[in-house]
Amino acid sequence: MTDTYVCPYCGATEHREYRVRLILLTCPECGENGRFLNEELVEVLDEIPEEEVPEEWSELPADQRLHRAMERGLVDSDRLRLL
């Protein structure tokens, strides 16, 4: 079984044969080096209501959105442990 990881900058996906929360990669699409999040984490971020996210949310890479969401308590840390 493979898991899908999402580029924090352009949203390109990579597939790997292991399951972790994130992997460090240089994106073959945009050339940026970053923390590709497991697709399930990106889905958790997408579920946060728009009125609860900071103004600059859409401008942040996905890994930074996850960090901000955790700092502000916008995601349930127990749910993240299950991923």
In angstroms, the CA 54 to CA 40 distance is 21
Q: Cα separations (Å) of 43 from 28, 40, 65?
A: 22, 5, 12
Q: Is 31 left (phi over 0), alpha (psi -120 to 50) or beta?
A: left
Reported as a single tens digit per residue, the pLDDT across 17-71 is 999 999 999 999 999 999 999 999 999 999 999 999 988 999 999 999 999 999 9
Q: Does residue 82 sit within a domain?
A: no
Q: Domains in the chain: how many in total? A: 1
Using a cut of 0.85, tell me whether the model's pTM lies above it.
Answer: yes
Write out the H or E segment, with its range, that includes residue 14.
Answer: strand 13-16
Query: pLDDT at residue 82 above 70?
Result: no
Q: Does residue 81 sit within a domain?
A: no
For residue 29, give its domain range: 3-76
Q: Does residue 83 sit within a domain?
A: no
Contact of 7 with 26, CB cutoff 8 Å: no
